[in-house]
A and B are shown apart, each in its own frame.
Chain A
Amino acid sequence: MASIANKTDEQLIVEKHISNLHNGFAHWPRAEEAPPALGDSRWTQDLILATWLMAETGQVPDNGLEYKIGASGGGFDVLDFNIPNQDQWLSEDTEIDLSLPLNRRDDGAQLKINIPMYGGGMSYGSISEHVMQARARAAQHLGTFTSTGEGGYPPSLVPYKDHIITQVATGMFGVREETIQYAPIVEFKYAQGAKPGLGGHLLGDKATSAVAAMRESVPWVSLFSPFPFHSVYSVEDHRKHVDWIRTTNPRALVSVKVSTPTDVDMVAVGSYFAGAHIVHLDGSYGGTGAAPEIAKKNIAMPIEFAIPKVHKYLVSENVREEVTLMASGGVRTAYDVAKAIALGADGCVMGTAELIAIGCTRCSNCERGRGCPFGLTTTDPLLQQLMPADWGQQRIINMYNAYAIQLRDLLRKLGLRSIRELRGRRDLLKYVG
């Protein structure tokens, strides 16, 4: 009772719920029956529970949970690998290299990530600072990156700056000279897959004083990120953007995040010619923040269709070896990552999977009331304590560790020594729809 007596009610409440939640995250993946209302076609019960298990153990699930595909009936879910006979597999002790160089041009820093994935932009305000810290620390540990999203750069992230991508988006929230100078990579967000062509919207309830200070706005007033960049109407205008970043931080690589319209191939080539090191395609079925339902389902094409279109076009334009193509928006598993790469991407950008690792149930209530009941997409001071940064950091590291095991195992069976050898190997895929 002494320990209880020394604590405030708030501390006890937070501890009580954290302990219950952690027990639940450990219980459900091992239970005989999944929670009946959990999951949907894209993120099935099994995928969510398998992700919780990987986040807890760092290992590949071995209890029968389906951890490779969902049940959407299309895209990655109807693709599989055409694994050759066992006599063609590489031996168990073969070194398999998952690293990915991000700069294929002869300017800027030669950055390399240890796994072919990094974290996508989730802004301060839309997620809690604890979540941002967990992601940043995990990125540092894994030797990869995470992105600020467009809500600014909290000072608590500065110690991890070598692993943080500064996002510059249309609202320019939190974009300052020093945040550009911190960044090894600056990401221009032209559009995002979940709401292509619509910009962004942070509800007034989430624009707390801290969020408003970061964004240099008025507390409790809704914030719109307009669409598009009001300074960009052509590739030449885009080039000026790139030059602006290069002037402020000549070392930084420039990534251009775009959505997937019918002319996504032209957009990608235009981005390359404007000086981008990384073209980041964000397909329509992903997204972590709130978006109009009509936009999520209907505007722009799924990433599975955009990747081969862009890859082929970059090859035909003779520039494929000079640009890194990253894919996101509905990439849920290690197998999705591998399929995206076989279709022509170099690597993937992950969002939802990281949130699920730290307790998201995909309930879609992020924007309701005080925000996420699990403390993820919220700025509520009490709720955000439910996801402590050190716990979250380890869960994310564990999930990627399990992904790395799967990728290495897959590459070994395909007879490939490096993830880079998988790029564009459509011949290794089969259609199982």
Chain B
Amino acid sequence: MPEHRDTAATYHRYHIPTQPAPDIEKWPSRFKVKVRRAGLAKLLISEVLHYGPRKDVILSRPCMYGVFSGPVGGFMPREEHCVGCLRCTTEFPEFVRIEHNPERRSLGDSYFTFNYVDQIAYEASSGLVPVRGAGYRGKFGGEGWDGMWTDMSEIVRPTRDGIHGRETISTVVDIGYTPNFLQFDAAGQPIGNTPHTLSIQLPIVLDGPQNELAAGVAQMYARAAAELDTLAVLPFDYAVGLAAYGAAVVPVLRPEHARRLSQLGFTPRMVEMQGWDEALYSAITATFPDAIVALRTGFEETGALVSYAQRGIKVFHLLADFHGRSADGSFVLDLIREAHKAFVDAGIREEVTLLASGGMIAAEHLPKAMICGLDAVAVDTPLLVALQARFGGECSARGASSFRLPGNLNATWGVQRLKNLCASWRDQLLEILGAMGLREVRRLRGEMGRAMFMKTLEADAFAGLLGYTEAKNG
């Protein structure tokens, strides 16, 4: 067989197959459509009198989206179809009123606002990049992620049209240990520390809920992670029994699991240790000598990370709360920068891997978090929102937040929703990388020169204006 056929037969290009996965639980519509019946009836009568038998003219209504095309037209508008274009209320201000639906706006909480929920609902149901007309609609900038812009290059785009599949932009990241340099003996054989990593195909790890919610979703997360070629971090008790997806499952271990490691039923490629525990660490390295051991801990531990690295931990999964805050109220963007810098200052940043969770709830947070210093994001609450979880009030504390999943959750739908969300976020990441002219996501890590911050830009632009210094100094 000619060589090119062999190549074609074995050719594999990473791709996430998306499929529509519409909502299974009916969510409140985005808009309320209010039609005063008396006004509508009056209009119909006047049009009948005016247009006589010209039925098509009389029945021609302003809405192109089917809101008034039910059996009784505008008398019972089908508001789930309304996209808020406002043509009807422009044509008939006297009796049609379009309002934002407060029920829809109450989805999520004060950090995970309904705009983010809406966005994720679209991404998880379609797998597509959200595209809309008419420019940006939001606030100018703000705190945290909103005060950060990514860079672009006017003429340099080595990746050309990577987003459209014509040239590769790699989103592979490596997790584990890589020595700063390799050493060889006289015979040319490597000596000393050698790399110990695993690769995932996108800088997203699925961070499962660490409570009883995991019972409903653990298998979905594991299967989705396996199909995406990434990892799902799950509580030990729910990881047990997921041997079929073992290569993708990262069990979270606590001291009490030290004696039960063999119950896992598979040899994990990576485990997470919930907080440092010497005995547990020894048990893990004895039972799973080839597994990568990550330390799962709060950002409060940043000061001690380098010392953990010296004790053998090379992967850190740092946690902020679901609103991206640490105990002292610092925001995850600054926390990541601080953790990254701690390793840079110690001269070992290349040796370790930094993952983080908390407060990264939109596709744009992915490249921004990596620019700040992460290797990959361990996504948490967005996955629950992709599965149409409803928030029980404010959900910030990891231990005390309550989410409710739809009662009719099923695995095929759930896996597809998770894959769709990851596909959409990956494609959006490709857009950002393409605009910068970057060919691989690994180059984004810690590239602060690829970011612009509102604070500095504003000071550069407005310093010296009357009132600026006073306003900024309080």
Contacts and interface: CB of A to CB of B under 8 A. Distances in A.
- Judge: A and B partners, yes or no: yes
Interface of A: 1, 4, 9, 12-13, 16-17, 20-21, 23-25, 27-28, 31, 35-38, 40-43, 72-75, 77-79, 82, 190-191, 194, 196-199, 201, 224, 226-230, 232-234, 237-238, 258-259, 261-262, 267, 284-302, 304-305, 307-309, 330, 343, 352, 355, 359-370, 372-374, 377, 383, 426-427, 429-433
12 contacts: A4-B51, A37-B84, A197-B157, A224-B164, A284-B136, A284-B149, A293-B130, A295-B431, A300-B150, A363-B83, A373-B85, A433-B471
Name which of B57, B65, B135 has the most chain A CB atoms within 10 A of its CB. B135
Contacts of B133: 288-291, 364-367, 372, 377
Contacts, number: 284
Interface of A is mostly: loop
Interface stretch (B96-104, B205-213, B245-253, B311-319): B96-104
B153 interface: yes
A74 B454 contact: yes
B244 interface: no
Interface residues of B, number: 79
B57 A24 contact: no
B432 interface: yes
B97 A9 contact: no
A296 B155 contact: no
Contacts of A370: 64
Contacts of B99: 36-37
A261 B152 contact: yes
B54 A9 contact: yes
Interface string B155-186: 11100110110000000000000000000000
A297 B449 CA distance: 19
A201 B130 CA distance: 13
Given A295-B431, A367-B133, A35 B97 contact: yes
Contacts of B140: 41-42, 72-75, 77-78, 285, 302
B133 to A, nearest CB: 3
Contacts of A25: 90
A227 B436 CA distance: 11
B328 interface: no
Interface string B244-270: 000000000000000000000000000
B132 A191 contact: no
Contacts of A238: 155
Contact of B138 (A196, A297, A362, A366): A297
B130 A292 contact: yes
Given A197-B436, A261-B151, A363 B89 contact: no
Nearest to A343: B461
B435 A196 contact: yes
B72 interface: no
Contacts of A233: 155-156
Contacts of A302: 140-141, 457
A226 B160 contact: yes
Contacts of A427: 466
A285 to B, nearest CB: 5
Nearest to A290: B133
B56 interface: yes
B161 to A, nearest CB: 6
Contacts of B100: 36-37
Given A36-B100, A426-B464, A21 B91 contact: yes
A198 B85 contact: no
A77 B364 CA distance: 24
Interface in B316-364: 363-364
A23 B96 CA distance: 14
B135 A298 contact: no
A20 to B, nearest CB: 4
A314 B60 CA distance: 56
B141 A197 contact: no
B160 to A, nearest CB: 7
A284 B431 CA distance: 15
A36 B90 CA distance: 12
A40 B435 contact: no
B85 A17 contact: no
Contact of B152 (A1, A300, A309): A300
A304 B153 CA distance: 19
A298 B160 CA distance: 20
Contacts of A190: 154-155
Contacts of A227: 157, 161, 434-435
B407 interface: no
Contacts of A73: 139-142
Contacts of A369: 64-65
A253 B25 CA distance: 58
B248 to A, nearest CB: 27
B138 A42 contact: yes
Contacts of A228: 153-157
Nearest to B148: A298
A265 to B, nearest CB: 11
B135 A352 contact: yes
A324 B100 CA distance: 44
A362 B141 contact: no
Nearest to B428: A294
A191 B98 CA distance: 36
B452 A258 contact: no
Interface string B435-474: 1110000000000010010100110111011111001000
A343 to B, nearest CB: 7
A21 B90 contact: yes
Contact of A24 (B93, B164, B436): B93
